[in-house]
Chain A
């Protein structure tokens, strides 16, 4: 009997506690909104989930509407942070109400995938061959320029079917940035961008669209994100890097590219990583950024955001590799930390 009473009392007390606790909890819940890039979305959603779990009362609402949308929204000030795979250009920066930081969060790679019967991953390609395939100048797989790089490979006398993204994307931006970096011809005639005027090829919507064209069409070549290529076990090409080595796209070769480029990291972090130096560096890599205003307008939100960013560039980086994003190199983390220290609310540091 006494035990019974005790139990009821316990439940009653617990309910009372809940009744007191609930309203205060609701008042304390802070929601930070962000919008932008789709490419790092798997990583960000993992981060937000883990971070919210260890920081009750803080919620993230991230809409992966695309880098362009992220830039638009942070410019208009409708979100607390933006996210982009392409650094903001001077025109875009000029439209901002105040200075902004590009906080690098991860490094991704873009792989060249192909569909050739009996040829596994590792077909060797040089930058100029890749450029000429995408220019439509090399049209057959047994072209001497490809065969010369791959003695012994049974290259078919088939047409090369070029595939690219039809939707505007950071992946295309990184890929065309690479082609522009290795070819002055490409830079002059086509240029870099999230959508470009492709000389040849079929357009597929999203990574899955390009992968669909490549998988369904014998003799096709395309480009997809590293994570997508690995998860779907696609055959990927080894690209010759700046030092003359043929390198397969992997997490390691992406990290190597990042380490090689860390020395040249500019103060605003708007670094393009393509064609990076280093023996083991893979050529087609790019950073992705969170866009955060230096002068925050809301003290509580700004404080929470800064605390999150401190976590993201350190502890958060451990979640990068399992999701196939390379972490930010150590020396860069220190540089980013200095930037985060400058984020303030009316002159008061939020660090």
Chain B
């Protein structure tokens, strides 16, 4: 029996209240966007589209461009995904499929605990542990022997795009891991057993199951991680070197959008300077929005493909 919400005044009230909350969330998002646009108007008017493709960031001469920050945010997040996704998916498979019971819980628990650490702690650990280790054990030898590859060109300072990427990968790992585990756990037991009963090896079982069933979910987990990596501020600014410049080498310092806002906003005076910083926030908002939109779309096509495949 279906009852319409309007039948009972209490139901009606409940329905309208929840609708109000839902619209409240939507309203907040729109308001946020509107205010970002309004506040960055002086900068948008002055620099126009060239803001997005200009490398200069000169607060004294009030000449602003966001390209170096956009580059830094995207490259550091990309490095983070490159490291974190295989690591997270690998450990998810291990924990769910191979690990003995006594090992499962502590490993999963510790990995998820990583998500609870405040980012400033990651940053400090990055400065005092990660950066020196990366510099002396990885970057210096790599720059010496592989320095002819533009990607690994010296000189090596320590704080760098690579350090930021590695630190971010550790920070987003628990998110990708826990979602990947959830996704793996949704595979029906029957399907797995079916593969094994047909003479498939463990590896074939995982490959088939993941290929058929889990790719969209893991992709979703990756986007979740990407979202976090794009917006991470404190930890990144502490290890990236804060240099508004574009180098091909990942051993060179860079700068990210969130980091420059956090660094310069408090002491920014002058209308144009503030507007330029807000516009960077607007660009970051749009990039995150577009990344999520693209992810939704890819996910949809993948799910429909996967559905056809089964």
A contact set with B: CB distance below 8 Å: 65-69, 71-72, 91-92, 159, 161, 166-170, 190-198, 201-205, 209, 212-213, 216-217
Task: Give the chain A neighbours of B204 by CB distance below 8 A.
Answer: none
Task: Give the chain A neighbours of B264 by CB distance below 8 A.
Answer: 167-168, 195
Interface locus among B1-9, B33-41, B190-198, B234-242: B234-242
Instruction: Give the Cβ gap from A84 to chain B, nearest Cβ, in Å.
Output: 10
21 of the cross-chain contacts (CB-CB < 8 Å) are A66-B266, A67-B267, A69-B267, A71-B269, A72-B269, A91-B270, A92-B269, A167-B262, A167-B263, A167-B264, A167-B266, A168-B265, A168-B268, A194-B59, A194-B269, A197-B60, A202-B159, A203-B243, A204-B242, A212-B127, A216-B132
Asked if B157 and A161 sit within 8 Å, CB to CB, the answer is yes
Asked if B263 and A168 sit within 8 Å, CB to CB, the answer is yes
User: Once the chains are docked, how many angstroms separate the CA of A68 from the CA of B69?
Assistant: 23
Asked if B268 and A68 sit within 8 Å, CB to CB, the answer is yes
User: Once the chains are docked, how many angstroms separate the CA of A192 from the CA of B263?
Assistant: 17
Asked if B267 and A190 sit within 8 Å, CB to CB, the answer is no
Query: Which of B60, B259, B270 touches A191 (beta carbons < 8 Å)?
Result: B60
**B56 lies within 8 A of chain A by Cβ:** yes
Asked if A191 and B61 sit within 8 Å, CB to CB, the answer is yes
Query: Which of A69, A166, A216 touches B242 (beta carbons < 8 Å)?
Result: A166
Task: Give the chain B neighbours of A193 by CB distance below 8 A.
Answer: 59-60
Query: Which of B132, B244, B263 touches A205 (beta carbons < 8 Å)?
Result: B263
**With A205-B263, A213-B159, A216-B128 as given contacts, are A166 and B59 in contact (CB-CB < 8 Å)?**
no
Instruction: Give the Cβ gap from A72 to chain B, nearest Cβ, in Å.
Output: 7
**With A166-B237, A216-B131, A216-B158 as given contacts, are A192 and B267 in contact (CB-CB < 8 Å)?**
no
Question: Apart from A91-B270, A168-B267, what 9 extra A-B contacts exist at CB < 8 Å?
Answer: A67-B267, A166-B242, A167-B267, A191-B60, A195-B267, A197-B57, A197-B59, A202-B241, A205-B262
Task: Give the chain A neighbours of B266 by CB distance below 8 A.
Answer: 65-66, 68-69, 167-168
Residues of chain B from 240 to 255 with CB closer than 8 A to chain A in the complex: 241-244, 253, 255
User: Once the chains are docked, how many angstroms separate the CA of A195 from the CA of B274?
Assistant: 13
User: Once the chains are docked, how many angstroms separate the CA of A69 from the CA of B259?
Assistant: 18
What band does the interface of chain B fall in when counting residues whose beta carbon is under 8 Å from A? 20 to 34
User: Once the chains are docked, how many angstroms separate the CA of A196 from the CA of B269?
Assistant: 13
Asked if B267 and A217 sit within 8 Å, CB to CB, the answer is no
**Which residue of chain B has its CB nearest to the CB of A200?**
B243
Task: Give the chain B neighbours of A65 by CB distance below 8 A.
Answer: 266
B contact set with A: CB distance below 8 Å: 56-61, 127-128, 131-132, 155, 157-159, 237-238, 241-244, 253, 255, 259, 262-270
Asked if B59 and A217 sit within 8 Å, CB to CB, the answer is no
SS of B interface (majority): loop
User: Once the chains are docked, how many angstroms separate the CA of A161 from the CA of B128?
Assistant: 17
The 5 A-B pairs at the shortest CB distance, nearest first, are namely A168-B267, A203-B242, A166-B242, A197-B58, A191-B60
Task: Give the chain B neighbours of A201 by CB distance below 8 A.
Answer: 243
Task: Give the chain A neighbours of B267 by CB distance below 8 A.
Answer: 66-69, 167-170, 194-195
Q: Which of B57, B132, B243 has the most CB of A within 10 A?
A: B243
Q: Which of A71, A166, A213 has the most CB of B within 10 A?
A: A166
Task: Give the chain A neighbours of B269 by CB distance below 8 A.
Answer: 68, 71-72, 92, 194
Task: Give the chain A neighbours of B155 by CB distance below 8 A.
Answer: 159
Asked if B253 and A202 sit within 8 Å, CB to CB, the answer is yes
User: Once the chains are docked, how many angstroms separate the CA of A161 from the CA of B159?
Assistant: 11
**With A69-B267, A194-B267, A216-B131 as given contacts, are A209 and B60 in contact (CB-CB < 8 Å)?**
no
Instruction: Give the Cβ gap from B109 to chain A, nearest Cβ, in Å.
Output: 32
Asked if A196 and B242 sit within 8 Å, CB to CB, the answer is no
Asked if B243 and A195 sit within 8 Å, CB to CB, the answer is no
**With A68-B266, A168-B266, A205-B242 as given contacts, are A217 and B61 in contact (CB-CB < 8 Å)?**
no
**Which residue of chain A has its CB nearest to the CB of B234?**
A205
Asked if A196 and B58 sit within 8 Å, CB to CB, the answer is yes
Asked if A203 and B241 sit within 8 Å, CB to CB, the answer is yes
Instruction: Give the Cβ gap from A80 to chain B, nearest Cβ, in Å.
Output: 20
Task: Give the chain B neighbours of A66 by CB distance below 8 A.
Answer: 266-267
User: Once the chains are docked, how many angstroms separate the CA of A204 from the CA of B131?
Assistant: 14
User: Once the chains are docked, how many angstroms separate the CA of A37 from the CA of B157?
Assistant: 31
User: Once the chains are docked, how many angstroms separate the CA of A170 from the CA of B127?
Assistant: 24
Task: Give the chain B neighbours of A159 by CB distance below 8 A.
Answer: 155
User: Once the chains are docked, how many angstroms separate the CA of A170 from the CA of B269?
Assistant: 12
Instruction: Give the Cβ gap from A182 to chain B, nearest Cβ, in Å.
Output: 17
**Which residue of chain A has its CB nearest to the CB of B127?**
A212
Asked if A203 and B263 sit within 8 Å, CB to CB, the answer is yes
Query: Which of B56, B128, B241, B263 touches A197 (beta carbons < 8 Å)?
Result: B56
Task: Give the chain A neighbours of B253 by CB distance below 8 A.
Answer: 202-203
User: Once the chains are docked, how many angstroms separate the CA of A195 from the CA of B243?
Assistant: 12
**Which residue of chain A has its CB nearest to the CB of B131?**
A216
User: Once the chains are docked, how many angstroms separate the CA of A14 from the CA of B220?
Assistant: 68
Instruction: Give the Cβ gap from A232 to chain B, nearest Cβ, in Å.
Output: 14
Asked if A190 and B60 sit within 8 Å, CB to CB, the answer is yes
User: Once the chains are docked, how many angstroms separate the CA of A43 from the CA of B128?
Assistant: 29
User: Once the chains are docked, how many angstroms separate the CA of A169 from the CA of B158?
Assistant: 24
User: Once the chains are docked, how many angstroms separate the CA of A194 from the CA of B264?
Assistant: 9
User: Once the chains are docked, how many angstroms separate the CA of A209 from the CA of B58?
Assistant: 21
Instruction: Give the Cβ gap from B196 to chain A, nearest Cβ, in Å.
Output: 52
Instruction: Give the Cβ gap from A136 to chain B, nearest Cβ, in Å.
Output: 12
**Which residue of chain A has its CB nearest to the CB of B260?**
A166
Task: Give the chain B neighbours of A196 by CB distance below 8 A.
Answer: 58-60
User: Once the chains are docked, how many angstroms separate the CA of A67 from the CA of B269?
Assistant: 9
